[in-house]
Structure 1
Amino acid sequence: MSTERKTTPEAPESPESGPRPARVTAAAALVALEGLALLAGGVYMLALGISGSPDDAKQAWTGGITLMVLALLPLLAARGLLKLRRWSRGPAIITQIMALPVAWQMLQANSAAIPAGIVLALCAVVSLVLLINPATTEALGVQGPGNVQDQK
C-alpha cells in the first residue's frame, strides 16, 4: 500500500471566468422562484398540520415535508446555475419538465388554481427555453452528443 498521493486532473467547474450571461441568471431566478414556491407550500401544509385544521394531520405533515424536500432540487440547481456549474442544468431541466404536468392539472381545476397554473406553465416554458439556449449551454460548458472528448 502506497502512501503517495495520487493526483488526477480535474475538469474546471466553470469553463468561463468572465461574467455570467443574462440568460443563465434569468433561468436561475425562475428555477429559484419555483423552489421557493415549493418551500412556501410545504411550510403552509406543515402549518395546517400543526394548527389541526386539515382533514388529516398526518397527510398534511407528510405533504409538507415532501414539498420542502422537493424544493431542494430547484434551489440547489439555481445556486449551481448562478455559479455556472455544468451539473446544474440537468436538475433544472428536470424540474421544469415535472412542473408542466402540475401546471396542466392546475389549469383543469375550477378554482383559484387556474391563475397559478398559468404562471407555473409560463415559468416552466420560459425556463426550458433559457436552459436549452445555445448561449446557456456554452456558458455552462455543456457539450453536445457529437462533441465527446477523448479521455485516454
Structure 2
Amino acid sequence: MKRPMTLLVAAVIVALEGLIALGLGIYVGVEAAVGRPESMTSAVAEAGFGLLVGAGLLWVAWGGLFKLERWGRSPSVLAQIFVIPVAITLINADRPALGIPLLAVALAGLGVLLAPPTTKALYGEER
C-alpha cells in the first residue's frame, strides 16, 4: 500500500513531538545533575518522564505510522489530545508564543491522523 501524504505528515509531527520531549527530558536531567534543583526526586522523575514519552513517541512514529501499522494511530491521537490542554495552559499563562504554535501542531496532527487517506491506508476498506 502506498503511504499517503497525510500519514507521512502525521509521522513527522509525532516524531518531532518525540524529539522535543526527549530533548526536554535530557535538558532537565542535565540541569538536575549540574545544578541544585529544589527537589532532586521531582527533577529525576520529570527527566525520566520526558525520556520515556520522547522514546515512546519516536517508536510510535517510526514503528507505527511510518510503517503503516494501524496500532500507531491510537497513541498518536491520544498524544495530540494531551498536547491541547498544555497549549491552552501556556496561552492562558501569557506564553502565547509557545502555546499557539503548540496548539496549531496538535490540531494539524489530529487533522492528518483522522484524515480519510490516513484511515484508508491504515484500515483499508474496513469501517
Counting matched residue pairs gives: 125
Match of 1:119 among 98, 101, 112: 101
- Which one scores higher on RCO, CA 8 angstroms, separation ≥ 6? 2
Are 2:43 and 1:56 aligned?
no
Question: Structure 1 length as normaliser, TM-score?
Answer: 0.77
**Structure 2 unaligned regions, length at least 5:** none
Q: CA RMSD in A?
A: 1.4
Structure holding more helix per residue: 2
Residues 74-83 or 48-57, more deviating? 48-57
Match of 1:130 among 104, 109, 112: 112
**Structure 1 unaligned regions, length at least 5:** 1-15, 145-152
Structure showing greater radius of gyration is: 1
Match of 2:12 in 1: 29
- Structure 1 position 56, deviation (Å): 2.1
Q: Distance in 2 between matches of 1:130 and 1:57?
A: 39
Question: Structure 2 length as normaliser, TM-score?
Answer: 0.91
Percent of aligned positions that are identical: 34
SS at match of 1:55: coil
1:109 corresponds to which letter in structure 2? A
Q: Distance in 1 between matches of 2:93 and 2:23?
A: 21
Deviant stretches of 4+, over 4 Å: none
Q: Distance in 2 between matches of 1:134 and 1:86?
A: 14
Are 2:45 and 1:89 aligned?
no
